Chain A
Amino acid sequence: EAGVAQSPRYKIIEKRQSVAFWCNPISGHATLYWYQQILGQGPKLLIQFQNNGVVDDSQLPKDRFSAERLKGVDSTLKIQPAKLEDSAVYLCASSDGTGGEAFFGQGTRLTVV
């Protein structure tokens, strides 16, 4: 069974530039999550989708972050414009939506300079 795929693995951008991350969840998983993991901290939920609808985006900085999940499958997370404090690993995870385990991708490490 293929796992959660994320790309790119690494990205370096200058502040005020824009960036986008892509996630392909495990086939059939209805629930998709984006987490932000700042160095030295645990992952923090940014947004949760159930199929293509948003369940929770209360911690998403909506003035600069946006996310979408088209057709309830792949998802993209965008930052525009980026700030230095956005430097982090962005983790995508998926689950079957019935209380089962959340499976994580390898993450995208973003460095904003």
Chain B
Amino acid sequence: AQSVTQLGSHVSVSEGALVLLRCNYSSSVPPYLFWYVQYPNQGLQLLLKYTSAATLVKGINGFEAEFKKSETSFHLTKPSAHMSDAAEYFCAVEAGTALIFGKGTTLSVSS
């Protein structure tokens, strides 16, 4: 069965610092992987998705993620955090045509 595990329920960074949110997946077949962001009282918005075309995936708002099969990882990064990046981030794997989500990581950004 496919699943994702997000390491760290809460990550705190300073404005301008590197953002690293960790996600490991479990899948018996080559997975489609996603990162979504959720702002308070909002729905989920797609940041980026991996569909096997390229291992380094660039998304919106300066985020990117690298698919590493050897490590079964799909970590999300951003070189320089902005206050507006504070939100909940979810990693997800496609199962059939639906998504299985991780538990989420809350990103806090301090000035």
- Which residues of A are at the interface with B, using a C-beta cutoff of 8 A? 4, 31, 33, 40-45, 48, 55-56, 91, 93, 95, 97, 99, 101-102, 104-107, 109
Whole-angstrom distance from the CB of A16 to the nearest CB of chain B?
A: 27
In the complex, the number of residue pairs spanning A and B with C-beta atoms less than 8 Å apart equals: 52
**Chain B residues whose CB sits within 8 angstroms of the CB of A33 once the complex forms:** 98
Docked pose: A31 CA to B92 CA in angstroms = 18
Nearest CB in chain A: distance from B92 CB, A: 8
**Considering residues A95, A101, A104, which has the most beta carbons from chain B within 10 angstroms of its beta carbon?**
A104
Given contacts A40-B103, A42-B90, A101-B49, A95 and B97 within 8 Å (CB-CB): yes
25 residue pairs of the A-B complex, CB under 8 angstroms, read A4-B43, A40-B9, A42-B90, A42-B102, A42-B103, A43-B44, A43-B90, A44-B101, A45-B100, A48-B96, A48-B97, A48-B98, A55-B96, A56-B96, A91-B44, A93-B43, A101-B49, A102-B99, A104-B36, A104-B43, A104-B45, A106-B41, A106-B42, A106-B43, A107-B43
B44 proximity list for chain A (CB < 8 A): 43, 91, 93, 104
Among A42, A48, A109, contact of B101 (Cβ-Cβ < 8 Å): A42
**Contact count band on B:** 20 to 34
What residue of chain B has the Cβ atom nearest to residue A6's Cβ?
Answer: B43
Q: Mark B7-46, 1 if CB is under 8 A from A, else 0.
A: 0010000000000000000000000000010000111111
- Of listed B97, B99, B104, residue having the most chain A CB within 10 A: B97
The CA-CA distance from A88 to B103 in the complex, in Å, is 14
Counting chain B CB atoms within 10 Å of each CB, the highest count among A43, A91, A95, A106 belongs to A43
